[in-house]
Copies of this chain bind each other. A is one copy, B any other.
C-alpha cells in the first residue's frame, strides 16, 4: 500500500516527518547525570495525526534508557499542538502548546503537560514541559520535569539531526 498524502489538517507539522537521531544529556536532583543517544520517528498514514516513537540508550554503556510512544495532533486553530503519550514507567500524558513558524525551516513548539495519570506502580510525575526548536534540519529540545517530590527542574537537553524524510505509513 502506498503512503497517502499528509492530511491537510496537520500539514503545519509535516516538517517533523522522518527519523531524527542524535545525542543528549540528562540530569535531575535525584540521579547521576548521564549522556544518551536518541532516535525519534514521525510517520503518517493520511489521517490527521503523526505517529511518534522515541528511544534513548546510554551513550557509553549502550543500555536502553527511556522510551515513549504516542501521537501528535494539531487543533483546528492550526497553532495548538496536542501530544498524547505513553511512558513505559506506567504513565500516560497529554501535552499541548503553541507552534510558531517564522520561516519554512524554523519552528518552535512549547508543550506543557495538561494531564498525567499513572498506574498504581508508576513513578510519580506531576508535570513536564518541552521546548522544541527545529531549524535547517536540526531539532533541539529541552525537557523539564516536576516529579518524585522535586519542583519543575531541567531534566533533558538533546540535539537531533534528520536522517531522512522517509514517510512510511504510521
Contacts of A117 in B (CB 8 A): 92, 94, 114-115, 117
Q: Give Cα A64–Cα B170 distance, bound, in whole angstroms.
A: 10
Question: What's the least CB distance linking A62 to chain B, in Å?
Answer: 7
Q: How far is the CB of A48 from chain B (nearest CB, A)?
A: 8
Q: Which chain A residues (63-92) contact chain B, with CB distance < 8 Å?
A: 63-64, 67, 69-71, 73, 75-76, 82, 84-88, 90-92
Q: Are A86 and B62 in contact (CB under 8 A)?
A: no
Q: How far is the CB of A98 from chain B (nearest CB, A)?
A: 13
Q: How far is the CB of A80 from chain B (nearest CB, A)?
A: 8
Which one of B69, B118, B119, B169 lies within 8 Å of A69 (CB-CB)? Answer: B69
Q: What's the Cα separation between A1 and B39 when bound, in Å?
A: 15
Supply 5 A–B pairs (Cβ within 8 Å), ascending by A. A47-B64, A69-B71, A84-B119, A85-B86, A92-B115
Q: Is the CB of B75 within 8 A of A51?
A: no
Contact residue among B46, B86, B114 (Cβ-Cβ distance under 8 Å from A86): B86
Choose from B70, B114, B119 the contact partner of A82 (Cβ within 8 Å): B119
